[in-house]
A and B are shown apart, each in its own frame.
Chain A
């Protein structure tokens, strides 16, 4: 099972500030994903990333969001101008590789926007 770490574990920021959430896969992977989970709600897909490009994104993933792999290992999610409703757990996931296409989740970053 792939290992994933995420930093920070908890981020508190003020509305309008930029945040960068980081995902560090322990092993090499081709497919990366970001999901979020608002407290008490279901896990929601944000974006998938393959071969250094976005392959799919949800309606949630608007112009305020961006993803990149700046150094070929870390995978980051940036929120340019945070809103109160961005408060949630953000999960990075890896996998989606044939033949099983299983996805493995990191421990998450809890983002609190005040």
Chain B
């Protein structure tokens, strides 16, 4: 079983739709969960960061972590064409100089 699994998509939705992106993981030691946005041939850009379980909201973005199910989600409300990108989930077991383990990334297209 892969440590982090993420449906690569592609996912295509109309502008204004609510988008749900998900990752599952197998390592129960993961404590820190991040979502990155990556445009083609660019560096990952940190969108959301969550520690342990719970929800976090930032503008149109909401991150959820369910540690009991080993499942994390990113919701995008009122999606815009500029949200079209690849979304990467990443997680690490502890703070400090800990490696991030990434999912495959989900390619998202928002159609005007």
Q: Bound state CA distance, A102 and B95, in angstroms?
A: 9
* Cβ-closest chain A residue relative to B94: A101
Given A91-B43, A105-B45, A110-B41, A96-B95 contact (CB < 8 Å): yes
Q: In the complex, what residues of B have CB within 8 A of residue A42's CB?
A: 88, 102-105
Q: In the complex, what residues of B have CB within 8 A of residue A28's CB?
A: none
Task: Contact check, B102 vs A101: say whether CB atoms are below 8 A apart.
Answer: no
Q: Bound state CA distance, A81 and B44, in angstroms?
A: 27
Task: Contact check, A102 vs B46: say whether CB atoms are below 8 A apart.
Answer: yes
Interface residue stretch chosen among A12-20, A45-53, A72-80? A45-53
Question: Taking each of B51, B90, B100, B101, which has the highest tally of chain A beta carbons within 10 Å of its own beta carbon?
Answer: B100
Say if the beta carbon of A71 comes within 8 Å of chain B: no
Task: Contact check, B101 vs A102: say whether CB atoms are below 8 A apart.
Answer: no
Say if the beta carbon of A55 comes within 8 Å of chain B: yes
Q: Bound state CA distance, A104 and B43, in angstroms?
A: 9
| B contact residues, total (Cβ < 8 Å) | 25
CB-contacts of A79-114 with B (<8 A): 89, 91, 93, 96, 98-108, 110
Task: Contact check, A91 vs B44: say whether CB atoms are below 8 A apart.
Answer: yes
Q: Bound state CA distance, A41 and B104, in angstroms?
A: 7
Least distance between A87 CB and chain B CB atoms (Å): 13
Given A101-B92, A102-B49, A44-B43 contact (CB < 8 Å): no
Q: Other than the known A45-B100, A96-B96, what 20 A-B pairs have Cβ atoms closer than 8 Å?
A: A33-B97, A33-B99, A33-B100, A35-B100, A43-B90, A43-B100, A43-B102, A48-B99, A50-B96, A50-B97, A56-B97, A58-B99, A96-B98, A98-B95, A100-B51, A101-B92, A101-B96, A103-B34, A105-B44, A107-B43
Can you list 30 A-B pairs, Cβ within 8 angstroms, ordered by A? A33-B100, A41-B104, A42-B102, A42-B103, A42-B104, A42-B105, A43-B90, A43-B100, A43-B102, A45-B100, A48-B97, A48-B98, A48-B99, A49-B97, A55-B97, A56-B97, A56-B98, A58-B99, A91-B43, A93-B100, A96-B97, A99-B95, A100-B51, A101-B92, A101-B95, A102-B34, A103-B46, A105-B36, A105-B43, A105-B45
